[in-house]
Amino acid sequence: MTYLEPILALLSDTRSQFVAIVEEFPVDRWRKSPGNGSWSAGEIVAHTMQVEESIIAGARKTLKKPPYPVPFLKRFHLPLALATTRGRKFKSPIPIDANRIPERANYAAAIIACRRGTLDFIDEHRTENLKPWTFPHPAFGPLNLYDWFRLIAYHELRHAKQIREVAEIFHR
């Protein structure tokens, strides 16, 4: 589908940015929180993987049922790129699984495996039109599956910025 090529490019580009920022992060501070209830870089990486896996699980579940009509006005939402902004903090509905926090030396293998699951799912459904299938996002409302794939990329960029913020706190 024509929808997928720009999404796959976005996922690839944002992943490259995420990895570049993680690579700059001090290895000795990987599991250290900067305080004030903030996550460590390792926890942030675990969170991004858990959310990505949750989105794909939601997409799988959604595809098992017929699509439901979304009322006209609910089809409009704020631009998904707003998910990258760090001005407003959100409490994640998905708690960090401490067992999912990768060691700094292994984080790349962990995020590659996670993304492989996403890309495999997209590839499985490459010939289908996924636009009619939606499920709700707590801030953006009902999103179709293509929007959810984009949101994976924007979510990762949001947390790349957060990792950079954590690094800056440690450098003060």
The letter for the amino acid at 49 is: M
Q: Which two tokens stand for residue 124?
A: 């499985």
Which pLDDT value is given to residue 114?
97
**Euclidean distance between CA atoms 145 and 143, whole angstroms:** 6
Average pLDDT over the chain reads 93
Which pLDDT value is given to residue 68?
83
Q: Which residue has the higher pLDDT, 35 or 64?
A: 64
Q: Give the residue-averaged pLDDT of 63-82.
A: 84
What is the SS3 string spanning the chain? CCCHHHHHHHHHHHHHHHHHHHHHCCHHHCCCCCCCCCCCHHHHHHHHHHHHHHHHHHHHHHHCCCCCCCCHHHHCCCCHHHHHCCCCCCCCCCCCCHHHCCCHHHHHHHHHHHHHHHHHHHHHCCCCCCCCCEEEECCCEEEEHHHHHHHHHHHHHHHHHHHHHHHHHHHC
CB of 14 closer than 8 Å to CB of 150? no
Q: How many residues does the chain have?
A: 172
Q: Give the residue-averaged pLDDT of 58-74.
A: 89
Angle, helix 4-24 to helix 107-124, in steps of 10 degrees: 170
Which pLDDT value is given to residue 33?
94
Place of tokens 């001090």: 26
The letter for the amino acid at 149 is: F
pTM: 0.93
pLDDT in tens, 98-111: 999 999 999 999 99
Which pLDDT value is given to residue 14?
97
pLDDT in tens, 16-58: 999 999 999 999 999 999 988 899 999 999 999 999 999 999 9
pLDDT in tens, 116-142: 999 999 999 999 999 999 999 988 999
Which pLDDT value is given to residue 32?
96
